[in-house]
């Protein structure tokens, strides 16, 4: 795996765009589309199953469907291509271009005060970049592909 290939998946801040729920080509969207396809018109049958099985869980199907439709509709192309849809005030995207560094951990100013992240995100950003620096970019990338995106 080359740095260029990894860059298509990992944002300059170190977060993995490819596994983000908002990514149009990510697994979460892909599996949501697949599940929607497999469920078909389940919403028409949900009431029937509620009666047949005597299980009120099926009352919640509309909420589940709404969430599934939402995941299936996401279409972000990733931070290297467009502004992040989740962290709109992110300062890293513009900054890394100005500094001409691929990833924050490679920047001489890391950790800096230019991210605009809140405390939780900032702490995560520092942790991720220190981890990449320690374990190497490729090993970090491999991990993002096998573990859950949201821990
Ligand atoms: S740019 Fe932001 S919203 Fe888009 S995939 Fe990356 S983390 Fe998700
Ligand atoms: S100055 Fe900060 S935000 Fe900008 S590239 Fe360096 S570490 Fe990243």
Strand extents, DSSP E, the chain: none
Q: Is the pLDDT of residue 39 over 90?
A: yes
Cα(85) to ligand 1 centroid in Å equals: 6
Cα(17) to ligand 2 centroid in Å equals: 18
| 17 Cβ below 6 A of ligand 1 | yes
Question: What tens digit of pLDDT does each residue of 57-92 get?
Answer: 999 999 999 999 999 999 999 999 999 999 999 999
| Partners of 132 in the β-ladder | none
pTM for the predicted model, two decimal places: 0.91
Residue in the block written with tokens 């962290």: 87
Sequence-distant (≥ 6) Cβ neighbours of residue 100 within 8 angstroms: none
- Counting from 1 in the atom list of ligand 1, the atom nearest the Cα of 90 is 2
Q: Specify the pLDDT at position 90.
A: 96
Q: Specify the pLDDT at position 113.
A: 96
Q: Specify the pLDDT at position 29.
A: 98
Q: Specify the pLDDT at position 3.
A: 86
Average pLDDT across the chain, whole number: 96
CB atoms within 10 A of CB 59: 11
| Partners of 76 in the β-ladder | 23
Counting residues of the chain whose pLDDT is more than 90, the rounded percentage is: 96
Sequence-distant (≥ 6) Cβ neighbours of residue 120 within 8 angstroms: none
Question: What tens digit of pLDDT does each residue of 8-37 get?
Answer: 999 999 999 999 999 999 999 999 999 999
Sequence-distant (≥ 6) Cβ neighbours of residue 114 within 8 angstroms: 91, 92, 95
Cα(135) to ligand 1 centroid in Å equals: 23
What's the token pair of residue 71? Answer: 């995941």
- Counting from 1 in the atom list of ligand 1, the atom nearest the Cα of 20 is 8
Counting residues of the chain whose pLDDT is more than 70, the rounded percentage is: 100
Cα(32) to ligand 2 centroid in Å equals: 34
């Amino acid at each position: 795996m080359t740095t260029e290939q990894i860059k298509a998946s990992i944002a300059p801040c170190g977060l993995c765009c490819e596994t983000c729920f908002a990514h149009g080509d990510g697994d979460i969207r892909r599996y949501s589309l697949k599940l929607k396809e497999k469920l078909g018109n389940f919403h028409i049958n949900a009431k029937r199953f509620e009666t047949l099985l005597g299980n009120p869980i099926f009352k919640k199907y509309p909420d589940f469907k709404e969430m599934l439709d939402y995941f299936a509709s996401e279409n972000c192309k990733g931070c290297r291509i467009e502004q992040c849809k989740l962290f709109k005030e992110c300062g890293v995207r513009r900054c890394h271009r100005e500094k001409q560094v691929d990833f924050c951990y490679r920047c001489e100013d890391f950790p800096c005060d230019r991210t605009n992240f809140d405390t939780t995100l900032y702490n995560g950003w520092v942790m991720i970049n220190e981890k990449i620096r320690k374990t190497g970019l490729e090993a970090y990338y491999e991990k993002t592909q096998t573990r859950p995106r949201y821990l």
